[in-house]
Chains A and B, each alone.
Chain A
Amino acid sequence: MGNLTKKDLLVAAVGDVFRFEGVSMRYRLGPEVLHDISFALPAGSFHFLTGPSGAGKSSLMRLMYLAHRPYRGSIAMFGRDVSSLPRQELATFRRRIGVVFQDFRLLEHLTALENVALPLRISGAKEVQIRDQVAELLSWVGLGEQINAKPSTLSGGEQQRVAIARAVIARPQVLLADEPTGNVDGMIATRLMHLFEELNKIGTTIVVATHNEALLERFPHSRIRIENGVLVGPRDIFDTSAETVQS
């Protein structure tokens, strides 16, 4: 018992962060883009989501960050079925997820500081605390001099770092990142991956959708592969009957 880390305790307490069972998805009345997806991700695990363009990575991410309901099947988060949960209750689950969107989705009328502060503003944190915390994180990602800059004045890489800072500022239990290193140079990419690993060490479940083969080679974490809307690997995450499956 004495050798258990904080992360081990969290994993034991939370169990699976995500449990997909027979999930299909389609946009409105269009064709299915995901077919019969089943997997379970234990708390505190780290996964890469890979697959060719158009395979369904972003759609799967949309289901995970609760932007879309499944057409068929069920999705459980932290042990609760969220696929049919009343929408008023979903906000509570969304606050436990940090998302780095592929297109960043920064709000153009806000400064970098205000964009990053949003999750804390929404959760009702005090403004003084928000300013200190956000300024510190922005300095950490190398944007200490640009806290008052609007997104349109920042480069693609800088915008991406603001998006990442916004995703992690509220210390989410799950971090979902869609191509988070797509617009940054190798050094920044490595630094961001180290940040994700640090977050993972304290129990945050990480899912990173990426094409970046170099990144995949350099950081040897579990890979979830999706092709034509179907999950093709690895076998271990398919077992949704087990309580938890370690990556």
Chain B
Amino acid sequence: MKKLSNGLPLGVDPVSRFLTLKVGLLVLLATLSLAVGMVMSSVAESLQRSLSGTLTVQVPAGLEQQSATESIIEILRATPNIRDVREIPDREINEALEPWLGAQAPILDLPLPALVDVAIESGQTVDIQVLTKKLSAVAPGTVVEEHSMWLGRLMDITNTVETVSMSVMLLVLISVVITVVFSTRTWMAVNREAVEVLHLIGAHDSYIAHQFQKHTFWLWSVGAAGGFALGTSFVLLIQFYIGRLSDSFLLDLTLGDIQWAALCLLPATAIIIVIATVGFTVKSVMRSFM
């Protein structure tokens, strides 16, 4: 037996189908924006963690490279505020070059500089100019590379991308709220007669709001689930391709478990926002009735 109607003409019409599609697209956009924002946040953190407080000293190739490197290491160890000094073995250099030069890098006999990794004491600084001058005296052409400059630029880029992504997500959610408010108000204006009759025979505002929320929940949940499924499929596809090229990337561009959990909360959050907005809008329109 068909269930009795609650009184409101809440069918699935072309307008509600359009709204379902629209919310699907908005959730898709929000999913992608949030995913990009979270990846950028991880990248920034990872860069900060791995590269801050370090220097790389490059000893130019030449006949005396090995002895010059040893002298430079001694000078570095004697320099105040330096915590650790480590010569990067050839194997690591070859591994780093392999994605660009191929597996034959070790046999190419290229004039590669010797690399020395320097860790600075936490919260301390080293005068780079003075250090460079001192090291150049031992091995002319020695370069002291401070990461902070390019790290700062990279951080600026990742932070900008992160901010833009999060702003896009916020704008999408605001757009959802605006869509809900206007569609609800339009629906109530079109169906004012039915709403007024229910009101006059004793329906509380919450009864009307609840019926509308129930209808909206199912309708928009379908849209949100579809948009989210599509969005996460994109993210997984991109992760898959990045995974295949992982050796070429110094940075981890994939989402972690916590980030996936946060991403999964997005459609639920969107639906909660929609339901709350519908309730608030219906009740605010109902205030125009006595």
Q: B4–A122 contact, CB under 8 A?
A: no
Interface residue range, chain B: 20 to 34
A109-B10 Cα distance, complex, nearest whole Å: 10
Other-chain residue from A65, A88, A109, A121 in contact with B200 (beta carbon distance below 8 A):
A65
Q: A107-B7, A127-B4, A131-B4 are in contact. Are A118 and B200 (CB under 8 A)?
A: no
Q: Let me know if A67 is at the binding interface, CB within 8 A.
A: yes
Q: A114–B202 contact, CB under 8 A?
A: no
- For the complex formed, measure the closest distance between the CB of A88 and the CB atoms of chain B, giving whole angstroms: 7
Cβ contacts under 8 Å, B193 to chain A: 105, 107
Cβ contacts under 8 Å, A99 to chain B: 200-201
A84-B197 Cα distance, complex, nearest whole Å: 22
**A-B residue pairs, 3 tightest by C-beta:** A95-B202, A94-B202, A109-B9
- For the complex formed, measure the closest distance between the CB of B289 and the CB atoms of chain A, giving whole angstroms: 8
Q: Let me know if A187 is at the binding interface, CB within 8 A.
A: no
Q: B5–A122 contact, CB under 8 A?
A: no
Q: B200–A119 contact, CB under 8 A?
A: no
Cβ contacts under 8 Å, B6 to chain A: 121
Interface residue range, chain A: 20 to 34
- For the complex formed, measure the closest distance between the CB of B208 and the CB atoms of chain A, giving whole angstroms: 10
Q: B202–A119 contact, CB under 8 A?
A: yes
- In the complex, the chain B residue whose C-beta lies closest to that of A124 is B207
- For the complex formed, measure the closest distance between the CB of B182 and the CB atoms of chain A, giving whole angstroms: 23
Q: A99-B200, A105-B197 are in contact. Are A87 and B7 (CB under 8 A)?
A: no
Cβ contacts under 8 Å, A69 to chain B: 290
Cβ contacts under 8 Å, A123 to chain B: 202
**Contacting residues of chain B (184-206) with chain A, CB-CB under 8 angstroms:** 193-194, 196-205
A127-B5 Cα distance, complex, nearest whole Å: 10
Residue with the highest number of chain A CB atoms closer than 10 Å, among B194, B196, B204: B204
Other-chain residue from B3, B11, B196, B203 in contact with A91 (beta carbon distance below 8 A):
B203
SS class of chain A's interface: helix, strand, loop or mixed?
A: helix
Q: Let me know if A165 is at the binding interface, CB within 8 A.
A: no
Q: Let me know if B287 is at the binding interface, CB within 8 A.
A: yes
- For the complex formed, measure the closest distance between the CB of A243 and the CB atoms of chain B, giving whole angstroms: 28
Cβ contacts under 8 Å, A114 to chain B: 4-5, 7
- For the complex formed, measure the closest distance between the CB of A98 and the CB atoms of chain B, giving whole angstroms: 8
- In the complex, the chain A residue whose C-beta lies closest to that of B205 is A88
A2-B202 Cα distance, complex, nearest whole Å: 36
Other-chain residue from A66, A67, A87, A127 in contact with B287 (beta carbon distance below 8 A):
A87
Q: B9–A127 contact, CB under 8 A?
A: no
Q: B4–A166 contact, CB under 8 A?
A: no
- For the complex formed, measure the closest distance between the CB of B2 and the CB atoms of chain A, giving whole angstroms: 9
- For the complex formed, measure the closest distance between the CB of A137 and the CB atoms of chain B, giving whole angstroms: 15
Q: B7–A88 contact, CB under 8 A?
A: no
Q: B7–A118 contact, CB under 8 A?
A: yes
| Between-chain CB contacts (< 8 Å), 11 pairs | A68-B290, A87-B289, A88-B204, A91-B203, A99-B201, A105-B197, A107-B194, A109-B11, A110-B5, A119-B201, A123-B202
